[in-house]
């Protein structure tokens, strides 16, 4: 008898109630994926680069200056607007744009008060502006800086044939007091760093002391700019003159930098940053420096962050470093600026004085009083 093979195709139809009941009694077999509400995640902001931040700050400074000039409806404001845009195109820094805008606005406001027209200004108008700024109680250096900003604006008007060139023939030059750089006493310096137990603070202030960098240059450093193996830091753009330079690290600065690099967030681009911002602000650094001065009882001695740069220069000259080398390390455009430290540290003059005075005290000079 032949074997017969049969194939059966059965169709099963289940009711929805049956399926639901089966799902509830059969473990995970037919359980669908649970759908939970998606957790809210705020949009991730792209990390702002240093160049983008500086460009944003420049734009903000320009917009602020133009807003103030146009709001006050000052005489010749169209020329002031053109001048500020010219400064922006020349890639001036945000602080330069802000200070230039303030000086030009105050100058035009003075012309408005005196019922003067910008096209008719004379040397006497600039003299009147200087007197006005002096009456505000500003320091001599601040008055000079604003006067220079006004002269820059006037020169722009002359070059664009808005006014005549006679006003520039005899410029008003203010005499400035020449003060000595203020260095920190060695004993005070040891006391100051003895209370710095914060890794970031110690690295930050020791780098300022050992490299002579300006605070703005240090805050603009990326972590990749520091080369501990070669014991140097690359400053790609100087704070004052846009000139890059190389500064060097001694042993204690390297150790402090290594300690900070070991604990800092490696995802951060900037060498020094805050918890809320990708870069550390000058105000935050100044507050930290002030607190350390208060800890050691040095708050009343007039020390500032910039004194670390003065101390750097003074100590190197006392150790025999040539003035021309110091000029390069400090990033000075003129050697005359660096010579101020030579006046502070001139040991030859000191030795000559006491040698001559010893002769006088022994009565070995010919003269009667």
Please say whether the beta carbons of 244 and 328 come within 8 A. Answer: no
Q: How confident is the model at residue 249 (pLDDT cuts 50, 70, 90)?
A: very high
Whether 215 maps to a domain, the answer reads yes
Longest dimension (CA), the chain: 159
* Among candidate residues 192, 194, 232, 228, the one with its CA nearest the CA of residue 211: 232
User: Residue 195: which pLDDT band, with cuts at 50, 70 and 90?
Assistant: very high
User: Both 68 and 163 in a single domain?
Assistant: yes
Asked if 252 and 206 count as a contact pair (C-beta separation under 8 A), the reply is: yes
Considering 168, 199, 226, which residue would you say is the last residue of a domain? 168
The total number of residues written for the chain in this structure: 369
Q: Label residue 91 left, alpha or beta by phi (over 0 means left) and psi (-120 to 50 means alpha).
A: left
Residue 336 maps to which CATH number?
Answer: 1.10.443.10
Among the ranges given (27-36, 59-68, 70-79, 354-363), the one the predictor scored with the smallest mean pLDDT: 27-36
Average pLDDT, the chain: 85
Q: Is the pLDDT of residue 204 over 70?
A: yes
Q: Which of 291, 304, 96, 309 is nearest to 217 (CA)?
A: 309
Say if 176 falls within a structural domain.
no
My answer on whether 163 and 241 are in the same domain is no
Residue 143 has pLDDT above 50, yes or no: yes
CB 231 within 8 A of CB 249: yes
Q: Express each pLDDT in 4-20 by its tens digit.
A: 444 444 444 444 444 44
The structure's pTM equals 0.71
> Same domain, yes or no, for 254 and 144?
no
Q: Are 320 and 289 part of one and the same domain?
A: yes
pLDDT score of 344: 79
The residue-averaged pLDDT of 19-42 equals 48
Tell whether 309 and 229 lie within a shared domain. Answer: yes
Task: Give yes or no: residues 246 and 211 share one domain.
Answer: yes
Identify whether the C-beta of residue 107 lies closer than 8 Å to the C-beta of residue 129: yes
Q: Among residues of the chain, what percentage have pLDDT more than 70?
A: 84
CA–CA distance from 209 to each of 164, 190, 308 (Å)?
A: 49, 12, 5
Indicate the pLDDT class of residue 83, thresholds 50, 70 and 90: very high
Residue 12 in domain? no
Residue 73 has a pLDDT of 84
The answer to whether residues 264 and 201 belong to one domain is yes
Helix (H, G, I), strand (E, B) or coil at 116: coil
Predicted confidence band of residue 41 (pLDDT cuts 50, 70, 90)? low
CA distances for 133 relative to 84, 110, 129, 183, angstroms: 21, 10, 6, 31
Shared domain for 212 and 72, answered yes or no, is no
Asked if 305 and 226 sit in the same domain, the reply is yes
CB contact at 8 A, 121 and 111: yes
Q: Residue 114: which CATH number?
A: 1.10.150.130
Domain that holds residue 258: 186-350
User: Are 151 and 212 part of one and the same domain?
Assistant: no
**Stretch 122-144: mean pLDDT:** 94
Is residue 360 a part of any domain in this protein? no
How far apart are alpha carbons 100 and 149 in whole angstroms?
Answer: 6
37 found inside a domain? no
Task: Judge contact between 270 and 280, C-beta under 8 A.
Answer: yes
Residue 302 pLDDT exceeds 80: yes
Percent of the chain scored above 90 by pLDDT? 63
Q: How far apart are CA 203 and CA 224, in angstroms?
A: 16
Give CA–CA dist 211/280, Å, rounded. Answer: 19
Closest CA to 16 of 36, 30, 35: 30
Q: What is the DSSP string of 101-112?
A: HHHHHHHHHHHH
Overall number of domains in the chain: 2
In angstroms, the CA 77 to CA 70 distance is 7
Return the exposure string of 62-73: e unless at least 16 CB atoms fall within 10 Å of the residue's CB, then b.
Answer: beebbeebeeee
The yes-or-no verdict on residue 225 having pLDDT over 90 is: yes
- pLDDT of res. 366: 67
- At which of 135, 168, 201 does a domain end? 168
pLDDT of residue 16: 47
The reported pLDDT for the residue numbered 196 is 93
Are residues 227 and 344 located together in one domain of the fold?
A: yes
Question: Are residue 146 and residue 198 in the same domain, yes or no?
Answer: no
Q: How confident is the model at residue 158 (pLDDT cuts 50, 70, 90)?
A: very high
The whole-number pLDDT of residue 189 equals 95
Mean pLDDT of 295-299: 94
């Amino acid at each position: 008898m032949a074997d017969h093979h049969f194939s059966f195709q059965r169709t099963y139809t289940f009711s929805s109630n049956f399926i639901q009941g089966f799902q509830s009694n059969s473990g995970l077999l037919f359980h669908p994926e649970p759908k939970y509400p998606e957790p809210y995640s705020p949009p991730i902001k792209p990390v702002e680069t240093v160049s983008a931040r500086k460009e944003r700050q420049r734009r903000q400074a320009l917009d602020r200056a133009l807003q103030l000039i146009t709001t006050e409806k000052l005489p010749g404001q169209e020329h002031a607007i053109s001048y500020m845009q010219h400064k922006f195109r020349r890639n001036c820094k945000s602080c330069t744009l802000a200070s230039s805008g303030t000086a030009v606005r105050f100058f035009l406001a003075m012309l408005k008060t005196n019922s003067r027209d910008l096209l008719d200004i004379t040397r006497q108008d600039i003299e009147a502006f200087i007197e006005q700024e002096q009456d505000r109680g500003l320091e001599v250096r601040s008055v000079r800086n604003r006067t220079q900003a006004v002269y820059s604006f006037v020169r722009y008007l002359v070059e664009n044939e808005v006014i005549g060139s006679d006003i520039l023939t005899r410029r008003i030059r203010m005499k400035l007091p020449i003060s000595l750089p203020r260095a920190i006493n060695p004993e005070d310096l040891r006391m100051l760093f003895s209370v710095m137990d914060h890794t970031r603070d110690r690295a930050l202030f020791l780098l300022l002391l050992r490299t002579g960098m300006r605070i703005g240059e240090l805050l603009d450093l990326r972590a990749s700019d520091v080369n501990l193996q070669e014991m140097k830091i690359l400053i790609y753009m100087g704070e004052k003159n846009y000139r890059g330079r190389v500064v060097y690290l001694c042993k204690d600065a390297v150790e402090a930098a290594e300690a900070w690099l070991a604990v800092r967030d490696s995802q951060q681009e900037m060498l020094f940053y805050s918890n809320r911002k990708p870069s550390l602000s000058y105000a935050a650094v100044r507050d930290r420096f002030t607190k350390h001065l208060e800890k050691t009882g040095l708050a009343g001695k007039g020390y500032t962050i910039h004194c670390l740069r003065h101390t750097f220069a003074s100590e190197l000259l006392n150790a025999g470093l040539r003035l021309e080398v110091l000029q390069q390390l400090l990033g000075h455009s003129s050697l005359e600026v660096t010579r101020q430290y030579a006046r502070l540290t001139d040991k030859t003059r000191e030795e000559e004085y006491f040698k001559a005075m010893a002769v006088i005290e022994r009565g070995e000079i010919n003269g009667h009083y």
